[in-house]
Structure 1
Amino acid sequence: MSRRVLVKVDGRELELSNLDKVLYPEAGFTKGEIIDYYTRIAPVLLPHLRDRALTRIRYPNGVAAKGFFEKNAPEGTPDWVHLERLPAPGSSKGRAMIDYVICDDLPTLVWLANLAALELHTPQWRVGATGPDLLVVDLDPGPPAGIRECCAVALLMRERLAADGIDAYPKTSGKKGMQLACPISGEQPADEVSAYARRIAQELERAEPGLIVSRMTRSLRPGKVFIDWSQNNAAKTTVTPYSLRAQPTPTVSAPLRWAEVESGKVVPATLTAAAVLTRVDTYGDLMGALCEPGPRVPT
């Protein structure tokens, strides 16, 4: 295979390079296969990326080597890529500014994949919005707790959120845990959403102290599931549904059916790029509702 290939994607000319380079050594998964995955998953992935400032984690030397976070648009970014200049998270407005990539079309997604941007992370808010339109909680198991315990906590969280009229949608993190995402109004500031998520996590911890912890102290986590409500901080991002993860094999942050969660038999390691493409053919986008506004959170 030639080292560089010129292709046209939706009318945009792109130069792809090193397509036969193995970026997942344990699986023999190449950059060409990564680009193929992102091209085929694009119809369900792009709606979750659209209008969101994108943070990438790039692995140009493969997942066995050190990767790096990238928020600013890199040197050589094509002039047709949508950029938005926004304040850096945590900075005073108008001080440190970042030119964020907004991945709202297939050519941009292919361009990013060619840069070995394996992981795609987005905030809970859209560019120009007054507040977050997603509430997200991360369920992080402390060994010996694992995915089965995460499933149990996800069910408790679903029931509690439903009592406030909020729908929750589960996915794997692509690593050891799970995440729940909930569409909300986008009309409230991040601190209100974060305070609500924290309040629910604390309530569930009081109800199930042997299973759940809401405090960040690591010494409290062994054998329990940490409900990380802080994902709703305005400076935080969460791995996007259908993004690859930098694991030994090309696992995906995969949307789940609630029936799978109820069974407790979710195996994140089996939810690889190939498996997730098959799931989308079968189920469509299980998290499609996240692209529509939801209710306000109680204050």
Structure 2
Amino acid sequence: MAAGQTQLTTEVDGQTMKLTNLGKVLYPQTGFTKAEVIDYYLQVAPLLLPHLSDRPLTRKRWPDGTGAAYFFEKNAPRGTPDWVHTVTLPTPGSSTGRDEAEFVVANDVPTIVWLANLAALELHVPQWRIALSDDGRNPTADLIVFDLDPGPGATIVDCCDVALALRELLNHFGLEGWPKTSGNKGMHLYVPIEPATSRSTSAFAKQLAEQLAEALPENVTATMTKALRPGKVFIDWSQNAGAKTTLAPYSLRGAEEPRVSTPIDWDEVAAATSVEDLTFLPADVLARIEEYGDVLDGLYDDPQPLPS
């Protein structure tokens, strides 16, 4: 397909849509095209939807590919089809609470395909759902997330060691962690909980991050200070704030190659010895789904109360 010249009108789950510029290369280093992005998102959509549904979606778009400029987008763009679900919410982080945005909410497969056609490569959501959260004014989380970010000289393998230690600490509180790669250099660890305020989940995540940093000072830091991070893993607990978002499971990354934020199991975490062990491209992820199913299946089935 020639870049910039191919388009297709198709139907996805009853919705007719025009897909454009299908031959455009969105990942110049690998030649991965918009058509391949759309195909990946279409195939992975049933597993992706549970993590997007009922959450306000922030998109990171690369209309000219990852070798060019990108932009974050909260508001539904001009020309959004009327079948795309949107909701007007206070803009997270607003000091006055008066600023608003009309967020897209991806509750179905056609919306995911429409987003892929817009080159929305990265899909970011908060740890709270709209239905629980008083129209977004009082975010109520159903997840805690720990973002394990390796500093200079550390890698995702070091994150695995920290994740295993964090798992033990979580188990002490009767909580279970569900790991995934970030699709970049690190890992994310999800913890399903019974609904709780974002303020309380942030406080609890900070408490655990600081406990682990105190227990493993050579390997872990719980502060953002860059000077303290070489050779260590920074446990970023701040993404639990109501205004913060995290890359969704199965989302692509806008990087040199189309890496995917990929759910992994604890055996893989324990066995990893190289970055390559935990680097997954779309074909790898689809093959894993074919072989193992959804590694995050059951994430939301047994939430536990946040320890007091």
- Say which of 175, 188, 194 aligns to 1:179: 188
Q: CA deviation at 1:282?
A: 1.3
Residue 93 (structure 1) shift = 6.4
**1:281 matched to which residue of 2?**
290
Q: Distance in 1 between matches of 2:186 and 2:97?
A: 36
- 3-state SS of 1:184 partner: strand
1:72/1:98 contact within 8 Å kept: yes
CA offset digits 1:59-101 (Å, max 9, x no partner): 0100111110000000000001000110001125651111100
Show the counterpart of 2:66. 63
**2:159 matches 1:150:** yes
Match of 1:51 in 2: 54
Match of 1:12?
Answer: 15
> Of 209, 226, 231, which aligns to 1:218?
226
1:122 maps to which of 117, 125, 129: 125
What is the CA–CA distance in structure 2 between the aligned matches of 1:149 and 1:66, rounded to whole Å? 31
1:205–1:92 distance in 2 versus 1, CA, 3 Å: closer
Q: Distance in 1 between matches of 2:284 and 2:273?
A: 16
Per the normalisation by structure 1, the TM-score is 0.97
Instruction: Using the TM superposition, give the Cα deviation of residue 266 of structure 1 relative to its aligned residue in structure 2, in angstroms.
Output: 5.5
Match of 1:261 among 269, 276, 279: 269
The CA distance in 2 between the partners of 1:293 and 1:92, in whole Å, is 35
2:137 aligns with none
1:291 to partner: Cα distance = 3.0
1:88 aligned residue: 91
* Pairing 1:76–2:85 present: no
- CA distances 1:93-131 after superposition (whole Å, capped 9, x unpaired): 651111100001111111000000000000000112141
Q: Aligned match of 1:236 in 221, 232, 244?
A: 244
Report the counterpart of residue 307 of structure 2 in structure 1: 298
Judge conservation of contact 2:252–2:258 (CA < 8 Å) in 1: yes
Please say which of residues 207-216 and 1-10 is displaced more in the overlay. Answer: 1-10
Contact 1:133 1:293 in 2 (8 A): no
Deviation track 1:203-247 (CA, whole Å, cap 9, x = no partner) reads 111111000001111110000000001111110000000000011
User: Using a 3 Å threshold, how does the CA distance of structure 1 residues 192 and 266 change in structure 2: closer, same or farther?
Assistant: farther
Residues of 2 paired with 1:282 and 1:138: CA distance? Answer: 27
Tell me the TM-score normalized by structure 2. Answer: 0.94
AA aligned to 2:236 is: D
TM superposition shift of 1:296: 1.6
Amino acid at match of 1:95: R
- Which among 212, 224, 230 is matched to residue 204 of structure 1? 212
| Percent of pairs with identical residues | 53
SS at match of 1:278: helix
Question: In the alignment, what sits opposite 2:176?
Answer: 167
1:35 aligned partner, one-letter code: I
Q: Which runs of 5+ in 2 are unaligned?
A: 134-139
Instruction: Please tell me whether the aligned partners of residues 48 and 291 of structure 1 are also in contact (alpha carbons under 8 angstroms).
Output: no
CA distance, structure 2, for counterparts of residue 141 and residue 168 of structure 1: 19
Whole-angstrom distance in 2 between the partners of 1:202 and 1:150 = 16
Question: Secondary structure at the residue paired with 1:253?
Answer: coil
Residues 185-196 of structure 1: pairs in structure 2 closer than 5 A: 185-186=194-195, 188-196=196-204
